[in-house]
Structure 1
Amino acid sequence: MSDKESSHSDMDHEQTKQTPPNFAQKRGKKRLRNSPGTELDKFKEEMRQMMTDLKVTQEKELKKINPNLLEIKTSNAKIESSISFLTAQNEELKKKIDNLEQDRRADKEYINLLEEKIEDMSREARKKNLEIKNVPKLEKETRGDLINMVTKLSQNIGYTIAPTDISDIYRVRSRQSDKPNSPIIVEMVSAIQKTDFLSKCKEHNTVNKTNKLCAKHLGHSSLDTPIYVTEHLTAKAARLRFLARDLARSKSYEFCWTSMGKVFVRKSKTSSIILITNESQIQRLFQES
C-alpha cells in the first residue's frame, strides 16, 4: 500500500470514528424540536374537535329551541294585538264614560233647576197658607167646626178675622191611625193677612209665657193641649227647618225662623242673616261653627 492510500485510509477511519457522535447529536436535536410541536398539534386538534362537537350540540339545541321561540313569538304577537285591541276599547269606553259623566252633570243641573222651579211654584201656592198643628180632632168634625176654631183663635190673639177671610180650610188626612191630631191647613184671602196672623200668634206666646197657645184658645173646653201655628211649608222647607233648629240648638244660634216659605238662621243680632237652601249648607255650618 502506498503512502497516499495509507493516508486516505487513515482519514476515512478518522471520519468514521467521528461521524457516529455527530449523527446521534443531530437526531437528538431533531427529537427535541419536534416533540413540543407534536403535542401542540394534538392539543389544537382536540380543541378543534371540541369546538366542532360543541357547534353540533348547539345546532341541535337551536333546532329544538327555534320552534319554541317561534311559538313564543307568535304568542307575543297575539298578546300585543290583544293589548292594542283592549287599549283601543278602553280609550273608546273612557270617552263614552266621560260623555256620560258630562251628560249626568248636565242632567243633574237640569234636575236641580226643575226642583227649584217646582219648589218655587209650591211655595207660591202656599204663600197665603198657615198650618195649625196638634189640634185635637172633634168627633164628626166638619169644615164649619174648623172655621169656628180659627175665628175663635183670632179673637184670642187680638187679630179678629171673619169666616169670609178664609178662602179654604181642611185637616190633613193622617196616615197613622194612632195620631188623629193631624195638622189643619188654613188658606187666607191674602198673604199679608196670613203674615199678620202669624205675627200675632208669635207675639201672644212671647208675652204670655205661662199661657201659650193651646186647644182652649180654639174653643175646646178647658183643654191645655199645646198648639203650634206656623207657615204651611213644603216638604223640603219643613225638612230644612227641622235641621236648622237642630243647628241652632247645637251651635248656639240665637235665631231660627221661616218667612214666605223660606228658612233663615242668625248667630246673633249683630251677625248676618243666613238663608238655608239645602242640607249640605247646614252640614257646612255645623263644621264651621
Structure 2
Amino acid sequence: MSGPCSVCKKNVAKDFVKCKVCNLAVAHPGCAAKSKTQWACSSCRADSDSTKAGSNPPSNPSSEAGDLIADQLGNLAANMNARFDAAEESRMNNHADFERALEFLSSKYDELLKTIGEQNKTISELRKGMEAFTSKLKEKDSMINLLALRVNELEQSAHSLSIEIHGVPRAAERENLHEVLGQLAQQVGAPQPSLENVADAYRLPARTPRAVGQRPRGEPPIVIKFKDASVRLAWLAGRRRLQQQRPADVNREPVPSTSAAAVATPAPRPDGRMLPPIRIYERLTAYNKRLLYLTRGAATAKGYKFVWVKEGKIFVRRSEQLGALIRIRCEEDIRTKLDYTAAEVNA
C-alpha cells in the first residue's frame, strides 16, 4: 500500500507507518517521528481532541512535546526534500545546458573539419597545377637555352674570319692601323694586311675606366676581319713563333691557354712601368668570353692544366698525358663535366 504522506504530502513508496486510529493514513517513519506510542494522523488527533474537550482531561506535557517535535521533524524533512528536489532540478537543467553546448561545439567541429577538407583539396589541386606549371616552365627554359646556344653558335660563326689583338698601345690620337698592323705582321710572320685579304680593321671603343686604386684598364683591342681563312690562320699560327721571343714570366697564370700567346716582348712605358704583352685571340662572342672565364676558374680549382679555344670552341684537358678532351658548350657543362657547383660557377 502506498499514498501521500500525511505530514510532508510526498509519495510514500515502501517504508511507512499507519495511523493507529483510522488505520488508513500513512506517513514516512521520519515524518511520523515514531516513538514508543503508535502514531495518529492529524485528523484523528483533531477528532480525539474535540471529543475530549468537554471533559477537560488533564494535559499530558510529554505527549504534547512529542507531537511538537514530530511536527518540527516533519517540517524539516519536507524542507530538506524540497531543497533536494530543487538541487536535482538544477542539476538536470545544467546537464541539459551542457549537452546543448556540447552539441553546438560538435556541429562547429564538423563544419571546421569539412572546411579543412575542402581547403586541403584546393591546396592539392593548386599543388598539381604548380607542378604542371613548373614542368612547362622547365621545358620553356630548356628551349630558351637551346635557342640561346644556337644564336651564340650563329654569332660565333660570323666571327670565324676575325681575330682580336690585345695590348697594342695607341701611338697617337689618330693612329694609322695599317702601319701598326704591318709592323705586327712582320713580327708574327704573317701576310701583310691589304685590301685583298682584310675586309675590315678597327679598334673597339674604350671601356669605362676603373675606380681609383684599381689597376687601370689596358688599351681597347683591335679587331681584324679577314677575307681569306688562310691569312687568319697564318696570323694565329704566328703566335707560337713569337711566343719564344717572350722572356719567362714567373707570374704566369696556372692555367695556360694556347689561344692567347704573347707576340711581342713587353716594353717599358714612358713612366717606367712595363707595357703588357701583345696577345692575339680568336674573336669570341660575349657569351663565349664569359664561358671561357668561368671555365678557366673551374679548371684551376679542379686541377685541369689546359684550357684553350679552337675555332670558337672551348676545350679542357687535365694534362698532356691524362684525360680526354672536354668540350664546354654552356655553364651546365662546367657543373656536370668539371664537377663544379652552381654556387662556384656563379660566384
- TM-score relative to the length of structure 2: 0.59
Task: Identify if the C-alpha distance between structure 1 residues 192 and 83 changes in structure 2 by more than 3 Å, giving closer, same or farther.
Answer: farther
TM-superposition CA deviations, 1:22-81 (whole Å, max 9, x none) = xxxxxxxxxxxxxxx979x99xxxxxx9x9999756532321112212321231132123
Amino acid at match of 2:277: P
- Counterpart pick for 1:246 among 278, 297, 313: 297
SS of equivalent to 1:135: coil
1:146 to 169, 177, 183: 177
Q: 2:192 aligns with which of 158, 161, 164?
A: 161
Aligned-pair Cα RMSD in Å = 3.4
Partner of 1:182 in structure 2?
Answer: 220
In structure 2, C-alpha distance between the alignment counterparts of 1:224 and 1:60, rounded to whole Å: 104
Partner of 1:236: 287
Runs of 4+ in structure 1 deviating by more than 6 angstroms, as ranges, are 51-55
For residues 90-130 of structure 1, what are the alpha-carbon distances to aligned partners after superposition, in whole Å with 9 as ceiling and x for unaligned?
12211221121012111101110111111111111111110
Aligned length: 239
Q: In the alignment, residue 202 of structure 2 is paired with which amino acid?
A: Y
Residues 245 and 92 of structure 1: CA distance in aligned 2, closer, same or farther (over 3 Å) = closer
CA spacing shift, 1:287–1:179, aligned 2, 3 Å? closer
CA contact (8 A) 2:187 2:263 kept: no
Gaps spanning 5+ residues in structure 1: where? Answer: 1-36, 43-48, 218-222
Change (3 A) 1:83 1:250: closer
* Matched residue SS, 1:154: helix
The structure with the greater share of residues assigned to helix is 1
Letter in 2 for 1:208: Q
The 5 Å alignment of 1:35-184 reads 56=89, 59-142=92-175, 145-164=176-195, 165-177=197-209, 179=217, 181-184=219-222
Question: Does the 8 A contact of 1:214 with 1:224 survive in 2?
Answer: no
What is aligned with 1:196? 234
Provide the identity percentage: 22
Larger relative CO (CA 8 A, sep 6+): 1 or 2? 1
Please point out which of 314, 325, 345 is paired with 1:273.
325
User: What displacement does 1:195 show?
Assistant: 2.6
Cα distance in structure 2, aligned partners of 1:251 and 1:113:
27
Shift of 1:156: 1.6
**AA matched with 1:184:** I
- Any conservation in 1 of the 2:264–2:278 contact (CA below 8 Å)? yes
What is the distance in 2 between the residues matched to 1:175 and 1:158?
30
Structure 1 stretch displaced more, 111-120 or 84-93: 84-93
In the alignment, structure 2 segments of 5+ residues that lack a partner are: 1-13, 17-27, 30-80, 210-215, 249-261, 268-273, 342-347
